[in-house]
């Protein structure tokens, strides 16, 4: 599937949160496989972010980017996050999550590998 790096980068916290929940085994398995694949991409993104930090900080010993160069850093990092890649992820059907409650923000951040079409079909039938 095609996914933007920003979707991956922004989903880390929510995926980690879901990994701590007791989910049905099928869902846990697929989520675990996705987390393994995504963690490799997240590490690549983080490596590139650190390269950019080193590029835009004033001196090698600095730990922060100056205000003058921050906009350049943000622009370049956002360009990276807008990059679309092809990645193999397990699609998880929304019903596979069972009876747990998921916030709208979590669903929004993981929707690139969640299939909610069954909910849309149920709504149309009503």
The tally of domains found in the chain comes to: 1
pLDDT of residue 13: 94
Residue 60 has pLDDT above 90, yes or no: no
Using 50, 70 and 90 to split pLDDT, how confident is the model at 90? Answer: very high
CB-based burial label for 43 (10 Å; 0-12, 13-18, 19+): exposed
Phi then psi for residue 114, to 5 deg, are -115, 130
pLDDT of residue 118: 74
User: What is the rounded CA–CA span in Å between residue 56 and residue 20?
Assistant: 37
Residue 94's SS3 state is helix
pLDDT of residue 39: 95
- Residue 88's domain comprises 2-125
What value does the mean pLDDT of the chain take? 90
pLDDT of residue 120: 59
User: What are the helix and strand counts (H, E) for the chain?
Assistant: 5, 4
Residue 85, Cα to own-chain centre: how many angstroms? 13
Residue-wise pLDDT for 64-77, tens only, equals 888 888 999 999 99
């Amino acid at each position: 599937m095609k996914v933007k790096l920003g979707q991956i980068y922004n989903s880390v916290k929510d995926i980690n949160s879901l990994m701590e929940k007791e989910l049905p085994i099928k869902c846990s398995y697929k989520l675990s496989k996705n987390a393994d694949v995504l963690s490799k991409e997240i590490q690549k993104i983080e490596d590139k972010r650190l390269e950019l930090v080193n590029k835009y900080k004033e001196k090698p010993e600095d730990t922060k980017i100056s205000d003058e160069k921050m906009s350049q850093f943000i622009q370049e990092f956002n360009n990276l996050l807008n990059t679309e890649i092809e990645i193999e992820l397990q699609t998880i059907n929304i019903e596979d999550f069972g009876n747990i409650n998921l916030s709208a923000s979590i669903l929004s951040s993981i929707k690139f590998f969640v299939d909610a079409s069954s909910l849309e079909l149920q709504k149309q039938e009503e």
